[in-house]
Structure 1
């Protein structure tokens, strides 16, 4: 038997940093923001399973990578599509490279860096 807990299981508020958490769930094509009680405050639906996690940008948009079906198969850490989403769920920028590894960063000058296989 397999039991999957959902939501917040344990929160030691004395030791936790106050605020929100942003994360992606492997197996589900979305990025979520939760509050200290584990309640979903906001989420973005992605076109594919996440290749890593999402980042909140200074302008309030979210930057994420997805595991595209194109490109080499069997890679343990694969991305392929980097997208910037606004708060309303619109893609405002994207870049596809099927050889993208899973990691990426937005620089202060606006450029986006990523690791490639």
Structure 2
């Protein structure tokens, strides 16, 4: 079996770090300081790159660590969200509290 690096379409199938894929959308702007809409678009581009890359690698008979790629992208997105919130770039999410007097233990109110 030959290496994936020998394949002529290796660049299209290469597993890239999420930061690099996000830069296609964001340019020189960091993910933490990007506007919410642009950050969402960057996260979607990362997800699309993972799924398209898996399809390309599978099509040509190469292995794909899709779960690992997704896990790395989710960790990166989570860390980016934390940093953005610390900088004040992301909206703070109100935490919901559980109503102790409610007959439904899953009922929540803000």
Give TM class, smaller chain.
under 0.3
- Give the TM-score taking structure 2 as reference length: 0.24
Q: Find the structure with the greater CA-based Rg.
A: 2
More helix by share: 2
- Give the TM-score taking structure 1 as reference length: 0.23
